[in-house]
Structure formats: C-alpha cells, structure tokens
Amino acid sequence: MYDVIIVGAGPAGATAALYAERNNLRCIVLDKAIFPRDKICGDALSGKSVRIMEELDLTSGVEKLDGSEINRITFGGPNHSHFDVHLKGNKKNNFITKGYVIPRKTFDYFLFKKAKNSTEILEGFKVKDLIYEKDKPAGIRGINRDGKEQVIEAPIILGCDGANSIVARKLDAYKRGMDNTAVAIRCYYEGVEGLSNQIELHYISEVKPGYFWLFPAGNNRANIGIGLSKNDAKKEDRTLSKIMEEVTQSKYFRSRFSNARPLEKPKGWNLPMGSIRRKNHGDGFMLLGDAAGLIDPFTGEGIGNAMVAAKYAISIAKKAKKSGDYSESMLRAYDDLLWNEIGKELRTSTKLQSLSRSSFLLNFVIKRASRNQEVQEIISGMLSKEIPKDELSSPLFYFKILFS
C-alpha cells in the first residue's frame, strides 16, 4: 500500500513527508507522541534549515510563528572577550540574512501540520519492531493509539525517530558510543536582560568542550542551556543543572539574570554527533537526522542536517521505486549524497570541537576575531553560507587569524 514508512514526525520525518509528496511517493508517518509536543532543543534555525524551508515554500509561514528573528551571533570566550558576526547575506554570496529561534513545540507542530495536509500521519503510534520478508525489512510492528498492535508494510523504512532510534537499534545499524555523543540541558526563562536579535554562544571554562547558550525565544522568553561531551559530563561531579546554576549566577552573567525566572526545571537530552561517518542505510531502510547521528559537534545544530537528509533520502527512495530495487547497494547513494554535502563541514566542526578544549586557543581566536573584520566575515559566512565552513579547512584562515 505504501512506498515509504516514516518513523518519527520531527524535522527529519515531517520534511521527508513534504518531499515525498512532491515526488509522488505514497508514505505514512508514525509518531509515538501526540502533537503539539515539546522537544528539548536550543530552538535555533540557521543556514541549512532556512534554505530547505525556502525550497519547500515554508518561510512565510515560519515568519508568522511565535519566536525571534536572528541577525547576529555573539561568540564569547573563556575570558569573556567576545565578538559578533552579522548575517549579511546577498544573492551573490548565498549567505542567509536571518535565522530564527522558534520553540520546537511550535516549529515542529507547524511542520507536522504542513505534512498532515498531504500525508497520512498516525500519532500516538509507538513503533516496537520491524518485520522482515526473506530476512529483509518489509515493514514495522507497533502499538497504535488505541493500544492495539498494528503491522504496516512498505519496501522502504525511514528511521527519523531521533537519538534513541528504534529503527537503528533493531537493525543494529551502527555501534552507539559515548565518544560521539554530547549531552545538553535546556531551560526556558523569562525576564533575562540584554536579549535582542542575537543568539549567544559562550565557550566558557565551565563547559569544555561545549558552550553555554542564551537564545531569545520570543515573548520575553529565553532559551538557556549548556551542553558538553558525554564523556566529560560523566567525569564531572556536578550535575549539568548545577553547572548551569553556577554559570547564571557567576560574576559575568548574574546581572542579566537578576530579574529572571525559570519557567521549568532544566531538561536534558542526548546529541548524537556527526564526528564519525556512520552507515545509515541497508536493505530497505535509511536513517535520518538524530537517528543517523548528524549533529554538528561544534555548534550542536542538527535540524538543518536532518532536513537535508530528508531531501536526499526521498530522492533515492524515488529512484528505488522506479527501478524496483530496494537493496543496500541501491540505497547506498543516499549516504554518499548526504556525506558529500555535509561530511566536510562535520569534519571541520569535529576539529573545532577539539580546539575548544584549549581555553588559550579559544581566547586567542576570539580576541583576534573581535579586532579583525575579515576574520569576522569568514566566520559569519561559515554560519550562514549554503555550504559553510569551507574556508576553515584552508590554511589561509589560520594565517589570517594569526597574523592580521
């Protein structure tokens, strides 16, 4: 009955449904949650998310959602020196001019409703296992909203089911490890001072390698959080909540929090990082988004890569349908296309994440950048260009930082 089963209706799954509709693929989306639902996140949408939203004609709708428009990014270092980059896109350089911070409860529901306009979606449907035909995945088995077991068949399954993906686990797609995972907590606040059209990433000593973020989330609310590598978090004797409390009450930040009030208890979640290339395909399946471990290790962004993965997975699903070939060798093209686009920047971000272990280097780079327009332009491009971070692999970039 279906060409594709999409497990998960977050950014990866909903975007895949929207591309599937454009490609005349019959798909069904299954999500264990009832929407609107929360997702622990920094809520920032930049570079690639903005490009895919434009491609899917979603931008005007997104602009009406509750949240903040972003035109500036502040980078702070361990010694609290900082510099700003302005998103200064134009048609020629392909940079974006703005990004957004939109609470995921709102953003994901928007995508979900768009997908639901054209696609069958079952909410409250928990996928429990896969079913097989001649040892090859042929569908899923799950529990529906009425508590009844249900089997759904299709020749392709897209695992868009997040960091604890049941699809990846059941297919034993790759080894899970702490080395390539980060952990982060988020807390919404109201009344934080000094928020405007900028997002702030503070690479401070308390969270190494990682950062403390302050994002304006609209309606006088802020999305505040910290994240660091899972291995480092394990070694800490303080909880992440405790570290966040200390940071917000520290000399540098406390004045901004003097009239602020948390709106919830901090909540944590894992971030599977794209610091290694995993195998995200096999006979009859492809993994996308967090299920595929595509989060940028330096910035913690995963929504854009999840949306890009959706575009490529659907283009390959269409080819597979046309040829009637759903084999591993056919679906390999998905991983190749995806890595071709994001592999280079993920490698660069992995290097940057290692560099951020050194407070000395971070302070040095941030100090230079704060004084040097050209270095700021490069970093701005890195964050807002369609294919960012290319310049960072060039020795010229480091030369400019060191000697300009």
> What is the contact surface with ligand FAD in residues (CB under 6 A)?
7-13, 30-33, 39-44, 126-127, 160-162, 166, 184, 186, 225, 227, 269, 271, 289-291, 295, 300-304, 306
Contact between 83 and 75 (Cβ < 8 Å): yes
Distance CA 206, CA 289 (A): 29
Q: How far is the CB of 288 from ligand FAD (least distance, A)?
A: 6
Q: How far is the CB of 329 from ligand FAD (least distance, A)?
A: 25
Q: How far is the CB of 401 from ligand FAD (least distance, A)?
A: 26
Distance CA 274, CA 347 (A): 8
Is 129 or 372 the residue whose CB approaches ligand FAD more closely? 129
Is 66 or 325 the residue whose CB approaches ligand FAD more closely? 66
Tokens 């909410």 correspond to 123
Is 132 or 398 the residue whose CB approaches ligand FAD more closely? 132
CA gyration radius for the chain?
A: 21
The kind and range of the H/E element at 301 are: none
Is 102 or 375 the residue whose CB approaches ligand FAD more closely? 102
Q: How far is the CB of 236 from ligand FAD (least distance, A)?
A: 16
Tokens 């290790």 correspond to 297
Is 111 or 375 the residue whose CB approaches ligand FAD more closely? 111
Is 77 or 227 the residue whose CB approaches ligand FAD more closely? 227
Distance CA 135, CA 204 (A): 50
End-to-end CA distance of the chain: 62
Q: How far is the CB of 196 from ligand FAD (least distance, A)?
A: 18
Is 39 or 281 the residue whose CB approaches ligand FAD more closely? 39
Distance CA 383, CA 8 (A): 28
The kind and range of the H/E element at 184 are: strand 181-190
Q: How far is the CB of 164 from ligand FAD (least distance, A)?
A: 6
Q: How far is the CB of 200 from ligand FAD (least distance, A)?
A: 12
Residue 313 exposed, middle or buried by CB count within 10 Å (0-12, 13-18, 19+): buried
Beta bridge partners of 183: 228, 270
